[in-house]
């Protein structure tokens, strides 16, 4: 992939866009809730019920509803606009988080059935601030080069949020019940979303409304999302498998949880570096070809991780794999934003986001089966081969041109 040194807008140029800093900061504050509320809820349910099984079911209901209903919530934002859709979503979501905090405040409190039902409804109303912010970036940035930098900055910042969120929870549970973390997550969502929807650029986003053709057809269609959704699912699958494989590798070689944590930290560090480097380059290669190349790099790095004999070499291989993670996700979002109709940009981003999260969930389940029958090294190679096959599929789509992925119906 080649690049050009002509007219490279910087990350500072992204933040100098009128209203960008205010809007981005507010969105990040609200999105910090994603790293605080779920972990706090899991700890609080475990403490209240005394059962990991109950906590697992409650969190599966919360996370499943949040992930798989994301495109439906995004459709509401596309149809009614961010202000009209996000405010009631946040009100419902945070009210239910407060109710959950009350239910799990003390050990022994709260019926598992009630907790599961409330958690599912709370997850179903999770505001999609990430896809909405990326759609706003598409309106804020005047050209594709600046949009690429904005998306890269957004991806790296989001990754840092998911690292800092659990750290904040760790501080909170040191002096307060875990339910306090649920309340803090709700507060972050309220304050962040309030700042976001009050931004002039967000207020200016029009409602999409209904299109007569789509109403007559009986369904809404987003075209050209095949490649980014497949690639996003592939990287999500790789991340879900890698988390468990790293833990298994560390345990089989006599290292504790600290060793696995350092390897996963190397993954995050590599992803952050890769994301910043990707955004700093003005690429000549089409985004579809970059997507395939990035998936190829990730697959090869995971195959290399299968050859690691010690924790240090594994950390190095995983760090290299991480270099491709953020660029791959960023490029998938870029393609989705570019190919979607203007009135469907939030949904386009939500489909990519859902694919990543669904891939992570599937990867975690698959990893348990793989580790039970194969060595950790072979499991890494199998994962790498799957990602390489994803790269081939994405590359073939890119070769046929834009929109090859076909229509993705929204229901």
Domains: count for the chain: 2
Q: Is the residue at 316 inside a domain? A: yes
Q: Is the residue at 4 inside a domain? A: no
pLDDT of residue 277: 87
pLDDT of residue 216: 36
Beta bridge partners of 179: none
Question: Which of 209, 232, 261 is at the close of a domain?
Answer: 209
Same domain assignment for residues 233 and 187: no
Question: Which of 209, 235, 257 is at the close of a domain?
Answer: 209
Same domain assignment for residues 247 and 181: no
The CATH number that applies at residue 395 is 1.20.1250.20
d(CA 121, CA 118): 5
Same domain assignment for residues 191 and 235: no
Same domain assignment for residues 64 and 102: yes
Same domain assignment for residues 241 and 96: no
Q: Is the residue at 49 inside a domain? A: yes
pTM above 0.85, yes or no: no
Question: Would you place residue 47 in the very low, low, confident or very high pLDDT band (cuts 50, 70, 90)?
Answer: confident
Rounded to 10 degrees, the C-alpha dihedral 260/264/266/272 comes to -170
Same domain assignment for residues 238 and 371: yes
Question: Which of 187, 209, 231 is at the close of a domain?
Answer: 209
Question: Would you place residue 298 in the very low, low, confident or very high pLDDT band (cuts 50, 70, 90)?
Answer: very high
Phi (first) and psi of residue 106, to 5 degrees? -120, 150
Instruction: Confirm if 268 and 157 have CB atoms less than 8 A apart.
Output: no
Asked which of 63-77, 203-217, 253-267, 291-305 is least confident by mean pLDDT, the reply is: 203-217
Same domain assignment for residues 175 and 289: no
pLDDT in tens, 319-341: 999 999 989 998 998 888 888 77
Q: Is the residue at 179 inside a domain? A: yes
Q: Is the residue at 1 inside a domain? A: no
pLDDT of residue 191: 96
Q: Which residue has the higher pLDDT, 120 or 11?
A: 120
* Structure-block tokens of residue 10: 């910087």
- Terminus-to-terminus CA distance in the chain, angstroms? 37
Dihedral sign, Cα of residue 70, residue 76, residue 81, residue 87: negative
pLDDT in tens, 87-140: 999 999 999 999 999 999 888 767 889 999 999 999 999 999 988 998 888 888
Same domain assignment for residues 70 and 152: yes
Same domain assignment for residues 52 and 199: yes
**What is the residue range of 204's domain?**
17-209
Compute how many other C-beta atoms are within 10 angstroms of the C-beta atom of residue 397: 23
d(CA 237, CA 367): 9
Same domain assignment for residues 313 and 347: yes
d(CA 355, CA 359): 6
Same domain assignment for residues 59 and 192: yes
Angle between helices 226-252 and 257-280 (to 10 degrees): 150
Q: Is the residue at 2 inside a domain? A: no
Q: Is the residue at 187 inside a domain? A: yes
Rounded to 10 degrees, the C-alpha dihedral 158/159/161/164 comes to -170
Same domain assignment for residues 177 and 296: no
Q: Is the residue at 304 inside a domain? A: yes
């Amino acid at each position: 992939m080649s690049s050009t040194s002509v007219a490279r807008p910087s990350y500072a140029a992204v933040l100098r866009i009128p209203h960008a800093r205010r809007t981005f900061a507010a969105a990040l504050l609200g999105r910090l809730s994603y790293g605080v509320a779920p972990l706090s809820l899991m700890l609080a349910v475990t403490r209240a019920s005394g059962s990991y099984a109950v906590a697992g079911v409650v969190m599966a209901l919360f996370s499943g509803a949040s992930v798989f209903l994301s495109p439906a919530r995004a459709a509401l934002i596309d149809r009614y606009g961010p202000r009209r859709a996000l405010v009631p979503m946040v009100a419902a979501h945070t009210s239910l988080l407060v109710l959950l905090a009350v239910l799990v405040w003390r050990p022994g409190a709260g019926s598992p059935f009630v907790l599961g039902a409330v958690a599912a409804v709370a997850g179903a109303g999770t505001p999609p601030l990430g896809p909405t912010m990326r759609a706003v970036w598409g309106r804020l940035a005047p050209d594709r080069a600046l949009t690429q930098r904005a998306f890269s900055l957004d991806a790296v910042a989001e990754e840092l949020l998911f690292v800092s969120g659990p750290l904040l929870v760790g501080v909170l549970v040191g002096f307060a019940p875990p339910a306090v973390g649920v309340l803090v997550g709700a507060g972050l969502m309220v304050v962040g979303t309030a700042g976001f929807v009050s931004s002039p650029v967000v207020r200016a986003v029009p409602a999409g409304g209904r299109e007569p053709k789509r109403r007559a057809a009986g369904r809404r269609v987003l075209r050209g999302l095949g490649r980014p959704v497949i690639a996003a699912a592939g990287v999500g699958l790789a991340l879900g498998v890698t988390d468990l494989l790293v833990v298994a590798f560390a345990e089989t070689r006599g290292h504790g949880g600290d060793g696995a944590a350092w390897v996963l930290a190397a993954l995050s560090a590599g992803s952050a570096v890769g994301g910043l480097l990707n955004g700093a380059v003005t690429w000549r290669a089409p985004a579809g070809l970059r997507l395939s190349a990035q998936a190829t790099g990730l697959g090869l790095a995971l195959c290399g991780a299968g050859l690691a004999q010690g924790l240090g070499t594994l950390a190095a291989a995983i760090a290299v794999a991480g270099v491709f993670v953020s660029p791959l996700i960023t490029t998938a979002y870029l393609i989705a934003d570019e190919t979607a109709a203007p009135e469907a940009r939030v949904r386009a981003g939500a489909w990519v986001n859902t694919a990543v999260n669904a891939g992570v969930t599937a990867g975690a389940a698959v990893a348990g089966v793989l580790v039970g029958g194969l060595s950790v090294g072979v499991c890494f190679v199998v994962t790498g081969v799957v990602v390489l096959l994803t790269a081939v599929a994405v590359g073939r789509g890119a070769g046929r041109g834009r929109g090859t992925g076909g229509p993705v119906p929204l229901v």
